[in-house]
Structures are given as C-alpha cells and as structure tokens.
A and B are shown apart, each in its own frame.
Chain A
Amino acid sequence: MNRSMSSGYDNANYSTERAEPGLPTSSAKRLAKGLGWFSIGLGLAELLAPRAIANISGVSKERTGLIRLYGLREIASGITIFSQEKPTEGVWSRVVGDALDLTSLGMAAANPNTKKGRLAFATANVLAVTALDVICAMQLSNGKRGIHAQASCVVNREPEDVYSFWRNFQNLPRFMRHVESVHDLGDGRSHWRVKGPAGMDVEWDATIIADVPNEVITWRSLENADVDNAGAVRFERAPGGRGTIVRVNLEYNPIAGPLGATVAKLFGEEPEQQLDDDLRRFKQVMEIGEVVVSEGSLFGTGYMAQRPAQPPAASELEQAEMLPSQTATNYGGSEEEFKGRAAGRGTQ
C-alpha cells in the first residue's frame, strides 16, 4: 500500500485526471514570495543595524536587543515561506509577527521619550504590510480548504474485473467504511450517503466526468452537496501480469472547514489513512471475497478504535462493522441470519 497526502501538490503524471477545486492562485504564491524577500531584508536590517531601525521608527535606542530578536523572527518567517511549496503557515507567521510589531509600537507610543511623528509613520507602514499579509494568508488558506488524499494498491486480478467491480458504485460500501450507500440514478449520476465525523450523516448527488472502461473513472459531486468532493480511480495493468495497480485520488472540502478537519484528525479520522484502509479492504474483497475481520479491529482499524483481542460479546458484535454480511460478494443470507448464526453456538 502506498499513500500520500498533499494540498496543492501538483503531480504532473496524474494531474489531468485529478479534480482540484480551490488550488491557491498563483498570484497569492507570487505575493507570498515577495513578502518572503521583504521578511528577509527587514530581518537582516533589524539584526545588523538595530540602531538605525530604532532611529527610523522613532523608538528608544535602548530597545536594540528586542529589535534584533524581531529581526530573527522576520528571517525565520522568510525561510519558512521559501521552504514551503505552498507557504500558508509562513505567511500566517508574518501576520502574527505584524501583530507583535504593532503591539510594540503601541507600547512605544505611550513612552514620552519617543518621537511621535516617526512612530506614526512606522505604524502606518506596518499596517499596510499587515493588510497585504492578511490578504495573502487568507487566499492561501482558502485554497487549503480542499483536502486531497491519494493512495494506491496492487490487486491480484485483471483490470477488467477490478474496473467493473468499482464501476458498479453500489459495491463501494462493501469496502469503504464510511460510505453507507451509493444508489445509481442512471445517466452516470449517483446518490451517496456517508457517515461524517461525530455521527453526522452527509449526502450528495455525484456525476461521472470520465469513464474509460478498464482504465479510469472520475466523478464529482453536483451542486448543493453537503460535502463538495471529486475523485478519480485509475486502473493500470501491473508489469509482468501481476494484477492491477489501482490509484485513487480524492479531493473534498471537509465538513466545518479546516477546524472540522483538525478535530476529525484528533479522533483518528485522517483522510489519507481512511483512503488507504479503504483500498486495503477493496483488495481483500477483490482477492478473497470479503473484508478480513480481527477481534481487535471490529470497531475500526484506528489505534483508538481497537478493542482487546478477545472474542466479542453478542452486544459488541451488533455494533461491529465490515462483517461479511455487509462486505462479502457471495453473501446470500440476511444480516440477521448471519448474526443469528454467529451467536448461536454456545460452549458453556
């Protein structure tokens, strides 16, 4: 299994099939670069010539230590901006720095020994830069709202089999733990019902954008979706006749925005981990006909979801997910029948 997660990361090989809502505009990135150079320039000046800076901005010359410290901070922001492909954090760190600068200037204004005219000029300049910083950071953050996850696996089956199983979207809940149901509405449209974080159910209609048999399927949600999302799955014959390489890219705007995504991560619901585990179960369904269940992972494969590796009580089995009654392709009986069978044997 291979997975990776990125935001705004552009992989030339796969970008044509990948849906990427809300990439940061290149102008925001250019602006960030400019702000990065500004950070480094100002930082060097503060570090090397703190007295001149104090003179220009009208603050007390006794504050050279603090100015040097702020210079280091500026340089750190600059380096962060240049070291990030998408410098959201770097620019936000500049916004925090601006707030510090403004606070310091405000405190200086209360001091009778400072030159008020120069202080006002310096404050106006910092305010102008702050505005630029905030605009740039917000643009970059907007782009980041879309979560992107990708994963791949090798399935020991022919691309034709793998494609046709996936293309029947009603099969997806067999291996996607969070997908409750997918109904085919005809004309390439489908209705999805998905368990969101904290027990919220979310729904949307989706449409197929591209469908090349045995090669690729891409889809995206239609307007009024609870969660805007898009995805692509590609099927590629593995070298040497060793089955099929399946690559999935997903992109969606998390419920409740970036904050919601962070909270979800705290509860072990990382999107890239989910996708990776979904693909592992897809492989199990394709290769052995059902999802493999262990005692410890009955309630999920996340670390926090583990239960002791001992047989479940009947009440626990009722809450278990991904049992053959839900995942097996050959499963004839009803869920009740399965649970009845499973619970029927007593040895005590």
Chain B
Amino acid sequence: MRANCWFGKTTMSVEEVPDPQILNQRDAIVKITSTAICGSDLHMYNGFIPTMQRGDILGHEFMGEVVEVGREVHNLKVGDRVVVPFTISCGNCFFCTQQMFSLCENSNPNAWMAEKMFGHSPSGMFGYSHLTGGFAGGQAEYARVPFADVGPIKVPSHLSDEQVLFLSDIFPTGYMGAEMCDIKPGDTIAIWGCGPVGQFSIRSAFLLGAERVIAIDQVPERLQMAQQGGAETINYEEQNVYETLMDMTGGRGPDACIDDVGMEAHAPVLIFAYDRLKQAMALETDRPHALREAIMCCRNGGTVSIIGGYGGFIDKFPIGSLMNRSLTIKAGQTHMQRYMRPLLQRIENGDIDPSFVITHRLSLDDAPYGYDIFKNKKDNCIKIVLKPDWAGNGDGAAAKDDSYTVVH
C-alpha cells in the first residue's frame, strides 16, 4: 500500500510499504477513506519530537471501512464504517476503567522511552514517534487498529466523511480543552491559537454555555474563521494581548484560558527570539509563550486549560502568578473514548458541522505538498483532508512540482 512516511526534518515521502496485518487478537484493519494532517504532525515534521525513525508512517486522524477483524473483536464486522481515535486504549487497565483513556497503561510497548522524558508514560498513539509506541499511522491506504473493540466508533451512513472525520482528534480535543474550563453561564473564555483545535475550542466553549469567547492569533484567515464561530478576536501582532483582554473584561481577566498552541508558539519578536534561541540550543525543548501569557491574563481563581501539545521542558514559567492567584491548571491528551459518542450525537443533532474547518482536500500522494502549505500557512491553509483513493494530483499543484518528491 501507499503511505506517507517521515524521513527527517521537513522531509516526507509517499512510499510503497507492506500492507498491515492483524498482529494482536483485538486488532482490526481499516481501509482508509479520509485522513487528515494535524498541527501536532508538524512538531515531527519540524523535527521537535525525539525517537523518530526514518520510514515512520505519520497520521493519527483517520476513518474508513473495516476490512478485517481479529478473533477477539466482537463489536465490529467487516464493512463497518468507523472513525478511529488517535489514542490507543486497552479498556481494561486502571486508567481506562476510570475513563482516562489517554493514560492507558497497556497500549505503549515503548513506555520506558516516555518514562525517561515524562516520568510516566501516556497511552500509545498512532503515528506519533516511538516514545508513544511506534505504531504505524493513518496517512496511508490501510491501517492496523489495535484494541479495535475499544477505540473506533461506527458512524451512520447519512453523515459524510468530512462531517465525522474530526471525531478522530481535533473536535474532541478542542472540546476537552473547553470542558476542562468548567464553564459556567456568563463566563468569558480566552483561547490562544486559532488553528483547527482552537476553532473547535471556540465552538465547544459556546456549546458548553460560555457567554463570550475571545480568540487570539495572528493569521487573518484563522481570525476570520474564529469570528464566523462567534468569537471576538485579538491579533497579537497588532494589539497587546494582556492590555486588550483586560480592557475587554473590565480589568478582571477572562474566567478561563485555553492554550490551543503548544510547544511551537509564535510571539512578538523579542520573546520569540529568546525562546527560539533557547530551543535551538536545546536549553528549552518547548516555546511556551502562549502558556505564559494565558496564565498572566487569567482572572484570579480561574482555570488555565492546556490542550496544545508540549513535549519537554520550559523556563520562565510564571509559577508566582499561578500560586498567588489561586489558578487551576488542567491539561492532558484527549480522553477520546469519553467524547466521541456524545460529540457524534451533537453532529447528528445538527449542533455543529465540523467540516467548516477544511480548507484543502488533496490526494494522499500530495501529502508532502500538504505538509508544506500547512506549515508555512500558504494558500490560506487551515486544515487538509487527504483522500487515499484520489488520483495523484488531487489539488493540481503537487504532482506537477518535483520539489515535493523526496529522493533518498
């Protein structure tokens, strides 16, 4: 089959690889009909995630049709149409039984690597380096799905791929970011980052009863999409975020803040240069500007929700602000199985149509081109869906441009 493989920093290539097979008894094989490129894929694309191997298949947002099930999968059958969550969870361990699925104790065979980095390991994840398991990802024609009786959910035929695909990650992730804010009627929620997850946090905050949502970014088309979702916006390149937020909230600050940015934050020139330099010198693995600002801006006694991805260590962390002002920090990889069914219901009810976030549809073969325009925010790119069954030059540009074909 064809699969989008990582071969080094900013080097992707669609390769012919062996077809996946049932390896564990609770596996299923899914023929992928739609798959997406996630902002967190860019952390690997940009070379910030350790324990990558040349040839790793990336991709953790995918859906498709079940073509084979292992002997211990009893709730799925060949032909079922399913969306697959990006986290891999066994359903039996201490954390799974407590609905903390992204902390599954059994799904990461390489847990020791994550323990070295984090002290303890999160669950396994698809296509997300070897320290989260070394599982082949879903930017491919087929994928092997471990614990298929716990992860994938069946989706009804009257909903299109594009309406349900983002149940695989970014809709539940944006939603959990908002849910961690414990939103009460009348609350004002500030959201750093208007990428795809940020867009879903904006809409989820409203679904959960927020009165005002203030979204912060610098990319015009993202700010515009945030406004379409009902948010007021701050362009941090044009306005001082702290002063503007205080102005908008009468000096008290937002009731809760969501960091939908993570480890590769951009910021006004000097702060960005400071963190980027430290990151380049390996004195700091992550650039935490959005998080610092979210903590400083949050109202006394408020909540800071971290859903943007971080990988390691940061400095200049405003612990004094956090402690003296009784802030609560909540964070985590999404406990996917907790949210997929309720959010599918939201989609069926017509409360939200997640396809609004899609700006580009490409053939799987054009994935390397997709990474390039997504990373560099070319062509107003916000979210790319890849179609494995489309012919090679889906969006025209890729197949014609040799620079996206990697020679190795």
Contacts and interface: CB of A to CB of B under 8 A. Distances in A.
A41 B163 CA distance: 79
Given A242-B94, A303-B113, A347-B141, A292 B107 contact: yes
B109 interface: yes
A156 B92 contact: yes
A311 B136 contact: yes
B109 A310 contact: no
Contact of A283 (B105, B137, B144): B105
B24 interface: yes
B22 A284 contact: no
B240 to A, nearest CB: 43
Contact of B109 (A294, A314, A330, A343): A294
Contact of A328 (B17, B25, B110, B115): B25
Interface string A146-171: 00000000101000000000000000
Given A243-B94, A290-B24, A310-B57, A296 B134 contact: yes
A309 B94 contact: no
Interface residues of B, number: 50
Contacts, number: 145
Given A288-B92, A294-B135, A308 B55 contact: yes
Interface residues of A, number: 46
A290 B72 CA distance: 11
B136 A287 contact: no
A288 B110 contact: no
B18 interface: yes
Interface in B25-73: 25-26, 29, 31, 51, 53-57, 67-68, 72
A306 interface: yes
Contacts of A314: 18
Contacts of A303: 51, 113, 130
Nearest to B128: A309
A273 B116 CA distance: 12
B183 to A, nearest CB: 32
A243 B93 CA distance: 10
Contact of B54 (A156, A284, A292, A308): A308
Interface of B: 1, 3, 5, 17-26, 29, 31, 51, 53-57, 67-68, 72, 90, 92-94, 97, 105-107, 109-113, 115, 124, 127, 130, 133-137, 141-142, 144, 146
Interface of A: 1, 154, 156, 242-243, 273, 276-277, 280, 283-284, 287-297, 301, 303, 306-314, 317, 323-324, 328, 330-331, 341-343, 345-348
